[in-house]
């Protein structure tokens, strides 16, 4: 039970890295000596020190480390990236034991951190709260194991099942609290995608102006480059990708990406190559249908309002029951998981 207690604390710490560490995983670390926490740390930013480094640096009495147990939510890295290997650091500090939640499933590095620790005579235990650790880093593990970003579908629909009126107008179906929550979500994911009709009729900014945090990379699908250049998406304030079938070109924060065909498989392959770990798809209905039909989605977040349109563009259907339902003021938020 003590192992689980300290690992839960490490998972809490790891959560502080959400939205800041991609394409790296979120990692938390707790160092314990005689049932007392003597050090804590988490991976705070991509390119910065890893959780183990921050935890070791927080220890005031370093002479205790050789008798300490290190709890870490992901197998310590064994390779030189933007920072030195964490497994080597723990060997250098001669810690007594390392308890790991989840091993790294990257075939290039997985298991090598554990091997370094064991070869140095450090006791290693793995699998403590592994399910929780993998869930927390499901974006990272999806990218590694499925070779694509973690895909979140999001839409708002009326009580009678429409996402927009017949003239494509969809403002505003959800309430202000729901819209603010969406801005929070945007700070937590790498990219956000809309189709041509949503870009044209809604003219969205796709930023996180109502929440503190980073803006996601914006992506718009415009096969024949028909969208006008004065749309908010093209204001060059945020890196923006325009997937099309005509040209590849870069200009300031705008990048036109030519694909032979605009479909979910090619889109996700391109984003994987660009190290984009997670993607929110905010519409429109046709784009959402394509990803659902291709079964290339992991999570769906659907706001259901009390308003009615009587007629319009029908909302997508997932043909399954939600895993969670949450009240957001007057809206109901249903969350679905694929698989």
Q: What are the boundaries of each domain within the chain? A: 3-142, 149-337
C-alpha to C-alpha distances, 305 to 29, 48, 118, 288, 300, nearest whole angstrom: 41, 42, 55, 19, 16
Where is the binding site, in residues?
A: 50, 77, 86, 156, 170, 172, 186, 198, 202, 206, 209, 223, 282
**Rounded distance between C-alpha atoms, residue 259 and residue 267, angstroms:** 8
- Are 41 and 51 in contact by the 8 Å Cβ rule? The answer is yes
**Rounded distance between C-alpha atoms, residue 278 and residue 138, angstroms:** 10
Helix 51-58 / helix 2-15 crossing angle, nearest 10 deg: 110
pLDDT at residue number 44: 97
Where is the binding site for Zn(2+), in residues?
A: 50, 77, 86
Q: Is 128 helix (H, G, I), strand (E, B) or coil?
A: coil
Scan for tokens 């590849």, then name that residue: 248
pLDDT at residue number 298: 98
pLDDT at residue number 29: 98
- Are 95 and 50 in contact by the 8 Å Cβ rule? The answer is no
Report the CATH fold assignment for 3-142.
Cytidine Deaminase; domain 2 (3.40.140)
- Are 97 and 124 in contact by the 8 Å Cβ rule? The answer is yes
Where is the binding site for substrate, in residues?
A: 170, 186, 206, 209, 282
**Rounded distance between C-alpha atoms, residue 182 and residue 282, angstroms:** 10
pLDDT at residue number 318: 94
- Cα angle: 217, vertex 218, 222; to 5 degrees: 145
**Rounded distance between C-alpha atoms, residue 68 and residue 135, angstroms:** 27
Burial 79-102 (b: 16+ CB within 10 A, else e): eeeebebbbbbbbebebebbbbbb
**Rounded distance between C-alpha atoms, residue 334 and residue 329, angstroms:** 14
The fraction of the chain above a pLDDT of 70, given in percent, is: 100
pLDDT at residue number 118: 97
Where is the binding site for NADP(+), in residues?
A: 156, 172, 198, 202, 223
User: DSSP code of 77?
Assistant: -
pLDDT one-digit tens code per residue, 208-256 = 999 999 999 999 999 999 999 999 999 999 999 999 999 999 999 999 9
**Rounded distance between C-alpha atoms, residue 199 and residue 226, angstroms:** 11
- Cα angle: 323, vertex 311, 288; to 5 degrees: 45
339 residues of the chain, pLDDT tens digit each: 699 999 999 999 999 999 999 999 999 999 999 999 999 999 999 999 999 999 999 999 999 999 999 999 999 998 877 778 999 999 999 999 999 999 998 877 789 999 999 999 999 999 999 999 999 999 999 999 999 999 999 999 999 999 988 888 777 799 999 999 999 999 999 999 999 999 999 999 999 999 999 999 999 999 999 999 999 999 999 999 999 999 999 999 999 999 999 999 999 999 999 999 999 999 889 999 999 999 999 999 999 999 999 899 999 999 899 999 999 999 999 999 997
Residue 261 annotated as catalytic: no
Please identify which of the residues 12, 15, 40, 52 carries the catalytic annotation: 52
**Rounded distance between C-alpha atoms, residue 312 and residue 182, angstroms:** 23
Nearest to 223 by CA among 204, 250, 242: 242
pLDDT at residue number 102: 97
CATH code for the structural domain at 149-337: 3.40.430.10
Scan for tokens 């064994």, then name that residue: 78
């Amino acid at each position: 039970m003590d192992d689980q207690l300290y690992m839960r604390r490490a998972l809490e710490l790891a959560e502080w890295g959400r939205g800041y560490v991609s394409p790296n995983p979120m990692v938390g670390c707790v160092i314990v000596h005689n049932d007392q926490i003597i050090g804590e740390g988490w991976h705070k930013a991509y390119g910065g020190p890893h959780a183990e480094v921050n935890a070791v640096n927080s220890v005031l009495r370093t002479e205790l480390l050789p008798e300490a147990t290190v709890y870490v939510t992901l197998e310590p890295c064994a390779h030189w990236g933007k920072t030195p290997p964490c497994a080597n650091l723990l060997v250098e500090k001669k810690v007594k034991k390392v308890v790991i939640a989840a091993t790294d499933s990257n075939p290039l590095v997985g298991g090598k951190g554990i091997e370094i620790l064991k070869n140095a005579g450090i006791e290693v235990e793995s699998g403590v709260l592994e399910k929780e650790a993998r869930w927390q880093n499901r974006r990272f593990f999806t990218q590694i194991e499925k070779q694509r970003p973690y895909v979140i579908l999001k839409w708002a629909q009326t009580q009678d099942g429409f996402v927009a009126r017949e003239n494509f107008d969809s403002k505003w179906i959800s309430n202000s609290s729901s819209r603010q929550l969406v801005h929070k979500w945007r700070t937590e994911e790498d990219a956000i995608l809309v189709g041509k009709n949503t870009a044209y009729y809604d003219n969205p900014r796709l930023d996180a102006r109502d929440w503190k945090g980073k803006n996601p990379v914006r992506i718009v699908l415009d096969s024949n480059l028909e969208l006008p250049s004065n749309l908010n998406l093209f204001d060059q304030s945020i890196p923006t990708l325009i997937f099309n079938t005509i040209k590849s070109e870069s200009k300031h924060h705008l990048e036109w990406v030519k694909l032979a065909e605009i479909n979910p498989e090619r889109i996700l392959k391109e984003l994987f190559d660009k190290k984009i770990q997670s993607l929110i798809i905010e519409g429109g209905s046709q784009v959402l249908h394509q990803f659902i039909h291709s079964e290339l989605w992991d999570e769906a977040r659907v706001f259901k309002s009390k308003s009615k349109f009587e007629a319009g563009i029908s909302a997508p259907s997932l043909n399954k029951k939600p895993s969670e339902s949450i009240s957001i003021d007057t809206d109901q938020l249903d969350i679905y998981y694929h698989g």
